[in-house]
């Protein structure tokens, strides 16, 4: 497809939608690495679904802290995102070190959870999901879209007996982590019950 076609389509989008397109492009670039020469000093190395990837120097505004470093990949639970962004003391030192030394994803499910909790007055801050999304982007986190594969995996997740929450937000995060081989950075002791990798 000629780039001019893409340019014309992009030109018809509202400004707010451009960031969504950029997030998708970033995700695609992680899954399908370029074939050209790799600069050891200005490339991001990692793994996506057990396949190596790198982020090339022309990647739009990449996280500087990742340049030239072999990294792991993590999915941030909602409270982990908020505690990091707002400097909450409840964030463990090891979790903070992980966030600042590796590729970290954040899910659309977290915005759903934040919105629900804000509507119930369970969160103290008044930032909108748009503002939090921008803070995540500035922190170098990569947005992870929810796919049909994620929903299909949810269908097969067990409902744990004697676990009060069986939280729908957690179930989405768990399915995304399993589907994409991510480790969830969380303090929630119930999540490991679903045989998903966690760390704190």
Domain check: are 7 and 105 in the same one? no
Domain check: are 38 and 82 in the same one? no
pLDDT of residue 71: 56
pLDDT of residue 31: 60
pLDDT beneath 50: ranges in the chain:
35-70
Residue 59 to residues 28, 29, 67, 118, 125, Cα–Cα distance (Å): 12, 9, 11, 34, 32
pLDDT of residue 33: 57
Domain check: are 178 and 151 in the same one? yes
Last residue of a domain, one of 71, 100, 116: 71
pLDDT of residue 9: 84
pLDDT of residue 196: 93
Q: Domains in the chain: how many in total?
A: 2
DSSP 8-class letter at 194? G
65: which strand partners?
A: none
Q: What angle do CA 101, 191, 128 make, to 5 degrees?
A: 65
Q: In this predicted model, what pLDDT tens digit does every residue of 146-196 receive, in sequence order? A: 989 999 999 888 876 766 556 888 999 999 999 989 999 999 998 998 889
Q: Which domain holds residue 170?
A: 72-200
User: Could you tell me the CATH number of the domain that includes residue 194?
Assistant: 3.40.50.1010
Domain check: are 128 and 142 in the same one? yes
Distance from C-alpha of 76 to C-alpha of 71, rounded to nearest angstrom: 15
Tokens for 61, please give them. Answer: 């505004």
Distance from C-alpha of 94 to C-alpha of 99, rounded to nearest angstrom: 9
pLDDT of residue 1: 60
Last residue of a domain, one of 71, 103, 131: 71
pLDDT of residue 45: 43
DSSP 8-class letter at 177? H
pLDDT of residue 173: 95
Domain check: are 37 and 116 in the same one? no
Q: What angle, rounded to 10 degrees, do the helices at 108-119 and 168-180 form?
A: 170
Longest dimension (CA), the chain: 57
Q: Residues 108, 24: contact at Cβ < 8 Å? A: no
Closest Cα to residue 27, out of 2, 3, 60, 1? Answer: 60
């Amino acid at each position: 497809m000629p780039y001019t076609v893409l340019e014309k389509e992009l030109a018809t989008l509202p400004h707010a939608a451009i960031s969504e397109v950029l997030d998708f492009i970033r995700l695609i670039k992680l899954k399908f690495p370029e074939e050209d020469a790799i600069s050891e000093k200005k490339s991001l190395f990692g793994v996506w679904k057990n396949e190596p990837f790198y982020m090339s120097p022309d990647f739009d505004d990449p996280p500087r802290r990742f340049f030239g470093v072999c990294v792991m990949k993590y999915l941030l639970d909602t409270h982990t995102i908020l505690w990091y962004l707002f400097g909450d003391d409840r964030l463990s030192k090891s979790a903070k070190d992980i966030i600042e030394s590796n590729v970290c994803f954040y899910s659309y499910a977290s915005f759903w959870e934040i919105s629900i909790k804000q509507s119930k007055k369970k969160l103290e801050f008044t930032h909108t999901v748009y503002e939090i999304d921008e803070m995540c982007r500035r922190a170098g986190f990569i947005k992870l879209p929810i796919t049909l594969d994620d929903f299909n995996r949810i269908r097969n997740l067990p409902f744990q007996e004697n676990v009060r929450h069986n939280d729908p937000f957690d179930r989405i995060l768990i399915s995304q982590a399993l589907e994409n081989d991510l480790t969830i950075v969380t303090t929630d002791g119930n999540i490991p019950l679903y045989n998903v990798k966690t760390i704190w």
